[in-house]
Amino acid sequence: MKLPFQPLLPWLPGPALALAGVMGVRWLAPLFAGRTQAIFLVVGYLLVPVGLAWFASRLGRRATQRAAAAAKPPA
């Protein structure tokens, strides 16, 4: 069965990872102290650029696929 939001699914991992980083920094890290808190902060802050880069690479891949489709001679 094809769900109505299925076309959106491939786009979600990047922003979801970045949001996981945001949650790690803003909600999880304050629950701990000392070294554990520092680990949550560092990992959270690193997840944000990685998530954004993932989303950006998905956009780049889409552009590549479109370019390849345009370059393919019509059957």
Partner 1 sequence: MHFSDIANIFQGITSLVHSSWPMIAARLGLIVLGGVLVYYGRKGVLEPLLMIPMGLGMAMVNAGVLFLDPTTAAVVAKSTGGAVLADGTAQGTIMLAPFVERTDDLMYILQIDFLQPIYTFAFSNGLIACLVFMGIGVLLDVGFLLARPFQSMFLALCAELGTVATFPIAVALGLNFNEAASIAMVGGADGPMVLFTSLKLAKHLFVPITVVAYLYLGLTYGGYPYLIRFLVPAKLRAIRPVAHPVVKISAGEKLAFAFVAGSVLCLLFPSAAPLLLSLFVGVAVREAGLQYFTNMIENTILYGATFFLGLLLGVLCEASTIFNPKVLLLLVLGIISLLLSGVGGIIGGYILDVISGRKFNPVFGIAAVSCVPSTAKVAQKEVSAVAPDVIILPEALGANISGVITTAILTGIYVSLVPLMK
Residues 24-63 that bind partner 1 (CB under 8 A): 25-26, 41, 45, 48-57, 59-60, 62-63
Tokens standing for residue 56: 């950006």
Question: How far are the Cα atoms of 16, 36, 41, 70 from residue 48, in angstroms, in the given order?
Answer: 9, 19, 11, 33
- Which tokens go with 36? 């554990």
Q: Which residue in 9, 15, 72, 75 binds partner 1 (CB under 8 A)?
A: 15
Smaller CB separation from partner 1, 1 or 6: 6
21 binds partner 1 (CB under 8 A): yes
Per the listing, tokens 């019509």 go with 74
**Residue carrying structure tokens 């000392």:** 34
- List of residues contacting partner 1 (CB under 8 A): 14-15, 18-19, 21-22, 25-26, 41, 45, 48-57, 59-60, 62-64, 66-67
